């Protein structure tokens, strides 16, 4: 604005001087007067338009920087949250496993006590394994994931999913169903590895965030495999529904949260669905809870 103002003022001075000059040189003609007026207006319009263009460029540049800065702050906060949660998620199972071994080594325990301690140790090893697997998957998935279609049918697929969860905690709360109107025997090709990981993450979340039973449903309509997982937990607020699929994103504050996790599960689910050109939708369950629905193309 200051620069535009200076140039307009200079243009005014030149205009007045040119007017005075032609009066002094007795060269006043209607045409030269008109010419000077025309040039004066042209220059003014040019200066003001340039000023507006530079002003807008400056404003958009500053807004872009501001948005980038805010995004950066959010990313840093998410990464800090991830570091806090991953440190906790890796350290606490290791501490429990160490304690289990120390107890077995130091004390002369009964057989059933040994078994209880070993069982807890195995649970902690599984927890550690799950977190490491998620961290590795999340790192590899964006660059190195290749869709691998394998022949299967609904019954085989459900057995496969149940098999991957056979020793999981709280498994008795999962109700597995296959849609009755779907053909369970006809074979189709699908990325079975992706389906396993998607189902595992969704079921684990549903169990983690709700105390009641969790419903798992498989269906095949036209050429699409439809997976749905519903729970009756607290649900996900509307303004968080997009965020939860971002890498490291967890609702709430890491320092006050009681639930375990690293914010990678739904990121992995979303990436696998994208790799398979599928769709993911999230709706509210009634009276409370969430329903995750995934649609994947089959061959
Ligand atoms: P986490 O390891 O924290 O579970 P996820 O990526 O699986 O990471 O989930 C991201 C966040 O989404 C979770 O921290 C939780 O706040 C929310 N969330 C995911 N699934 C559910 C669910 N079934 N019910 C309620 N909240 C959920």
Closest ligand 1 atom to residue 262 Cα is 2
Q: Which positions ≥6 away from 100 have C-beta within 8 Å?
A: 117, 118, 120, 121, 124
- Alpha carbon 263 to its chain centroid, in Å, reads 9
Q: Can you tell me the distance from the alpha carbon of 23 to that of 29, in angstroms, rounded to the nearest whole number?
A: 9
Whether pTM > 0.85 for this model: the answer is no
Q: Can you tell me the distance from the alpha carbon of 202 to that of 205, in angstroms, rounded to the nearest whole number?
A: 5
pLDDT tens-place string over residues 146-171 = 899 999 999 999 999 999 888 788 88
Q: For residue 211, what are its two tokens?
A: 């105390």
Q: Can you tell me the distance from the alpha carbon of 27 to that of 24, in angstroms, rounded to the nearest whole number?
A: 8
CA of 29 to the centre of ligand 1 (A): 82
Per-residue pLDDT, 254: 63
pLDDT tens-place string over residues 199-257 = 999 999 999 999 999 999 999 998 999 999 999 999 999 999 999 999 888 887 766 66
Greatest Cα pair distance in the chain: 122
> What percentage of the chain's residues is helix, strand, coil (to nearest 5)?
60, 15, 25
Per-residue pLDDT, 255: 63
Pocket of ligand 1 (CB under 6 A): 205-206, 209, 231, 233-234, 236, 244, 249-251, 261-267, 290
Closest ligand 1 atom to residue 259 Cα is 3
User: Averaged over 14-25, what is the pLDDT?
Assistant: 85
CA of 176 to the centre of ligand 1 (A): 21
Per-residue pLDDT at 287 exceeds 90: yes
Per-residue pLDDT band at 28 (split at 50, 70, 90): low
What 3-state class would DSSP assign to 151? strand
Ligand 1: residue of 86, 89, 205, 248 to mutate (most ligand atoms within 8 A of CB) is: 205
* Nearest CA owner, ligand 1 atom 23: 206
Would you mind telling me the total number of residues written for the chain in this entry? 299
pLDDT tens-place string over residues 62-96 = 999 999 999 999 888 878 877 887 788 888 889 99
CA of 225 to the centre of ligand 1 (A): 23
Considering only CA atoms, which of 254, 268, 256 is closest in space to residue 79? 254
- Is the separation of the CB atoms in 64 and 237 below 8 Å? no
- Is the separation of the CB atoms in 96 and 124 below 8 Å? yes
User: 188 has which bridge partners?
Assistant: 152
């Amino acid at each position: 604005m200051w620069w535009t103002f200076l140039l307009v003022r200079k243009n005014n001075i030149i205009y007045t001087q040119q007017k005075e000059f032609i009066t002094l040189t007795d060269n006043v003609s209607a045409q030269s007067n008109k010419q000077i007026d025309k040039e004066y207006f042209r220059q003014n319009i040019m200066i003001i338009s340039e000023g507006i263009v530079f002003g807008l460029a400056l404003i958009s540049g500053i807004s872009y920087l501001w948005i980038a800065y805010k995004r950066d702050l959010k990313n840093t906060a998410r990464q800090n949250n991830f570091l806090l949660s991953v440190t906790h998620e890796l350290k606490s199972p290791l501490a429990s496993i160490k304690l289990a071994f120390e107890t077995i080594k130091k004390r002369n325990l009964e057989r059933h006590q040994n078994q209880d301690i070993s069982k807890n140790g195995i649970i902690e090893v599984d927890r550690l394994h799950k977190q490491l697997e998620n961290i590795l998957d999340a790192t590899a998935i964006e660059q190195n994931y290749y869709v691998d279609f394998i022949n299967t049918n609904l019954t085989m697929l459900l057995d496969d999913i149940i098999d991957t969860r056979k020793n999981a905690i709280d498994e008795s709360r999962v109700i597995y169903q296959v849609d009755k109107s779907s053909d369970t025997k006809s074979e189709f090709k699908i990325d079975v590895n992706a389906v396993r990981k998607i189902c595992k993450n969704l079921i684990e979340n549903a169990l983690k965030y709700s105390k009641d039973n969790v419903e798992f449903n498989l269906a095949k309509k036209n050429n699409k495999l439809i997976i749905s997982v519903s729970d009756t937990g607290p649900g996900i607020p509307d303004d968080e529904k997009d965020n939860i699929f971002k890498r490291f994103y967890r609702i709430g504050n890491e320092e006050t949260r009681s639930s375990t996790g690293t914010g990678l599960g739904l990121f992995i689910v979303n990436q696998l669905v994208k790799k398979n050109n599928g769709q993911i939708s999230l709706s509210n369950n009634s009276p409370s809870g969430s329903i995750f629905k995934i649609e994947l193309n089959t061959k």
